[in-house]
Amino acid sequence: MPAAVKLRLDYTPAELRRLAANGKHANQSRRLLSLAAVLEGRSREEAARIGGMDRQTLRDWVHQFNEHGPDGLKDHWYEGPSARLSAEQLSTLADIVKTGPDRVEDGVVRWRRVDLKRVIEERFGVSYHERTVGKILKQIGFSHISARARHPGQKPETIAAFKKTSKLR
């Protein structure tokens, strides 16, 4: 059976409890209380139960505590990958969407995500999935609702004549 991991002894159980009471991070406080229980001589299983974890997880937090001290017991969330389009490129994309497509140059009468995916690849050299293009559009302030496409040969007079002219009550 492997030996238990030794816990550093430069903190007393009272100091760990004080840090837990004054801490702003609930998970860090739970972990500090578990380590205080270990220093008081309680079993690893009981100490782990105090912190709401199993013995293996407690062992992992002991390693973190030994290496980094109380700050090592805080949650460190990964922020994710950095944006592939710069703020300037996003601004340019917003202008492209606002002005709409050129029927001759772009070959479409309204923007779809698949079309914008192609434009982003051509102009900025970045490849996205269509769903991600939708997320980017939402991020820069566009909704998924678009105006109805209008045929280029449509006449305003015909539209006005077709509208219903019922009287208001």
Encode pLDDT of 113-126 as tens digits.
999 999 999 999 99
Please check whether residue 34 is in contact with residue 61, taking contact to mean a CB–CB distance below 8 angstroms.
yes
Q: What is the pLDDT of residues 54-95, one digit of tens each?
A: 999 999 999 999 999 999 999 988 888 888 999 999 999 999
Taking the alpha carbons of 6, 8, 24, 37 in that order, is the dihedral positive or negative?
A: positive
Residue 113 token pair:
């995500």
Q: Given a cut of 60, is residue 1 above it in pLDDT?
A: no
Go through the chain and tell me how many residues it has: 169
Residue 98 has pLDDT above 70, yes or no: yes
CA nearest to 45, candidates 32, 58, 36, 33: 58
What does the block give as tokens for 93?
Answer: 């994309």
In this structure, are residues 128 and 136 in contact, taking their beta carbons and an 8 Å threshold? yes
Q: How far apart are the first and last CA of the chain?
A: 90
* pLDDT range class, residue 155, cuts 50, 70, 90: confident
Mean of the pLDDT values across residues 158-167? Answer: 73
Domain boundaries defined on the chain = 13-73, 87-146
Cα torsion 78, 80, 82, 83 to 10°: value is -150
Place 42 in a pLDDT band, splitting at 50, 70 and 90.
very high
Helix (H), strand (E), coil (C) string for 76-90: CCCCCCCCCCCHHHH
Q: Which three-class secondary structure state does DSSP give residue 46? A: helix
Residue with token string 């109805």: 148
Question: pTM, whole model, 2 decimals?
Answer: 0.52
Phi and psi at residue 144, to the nearest 5°: -80, -10
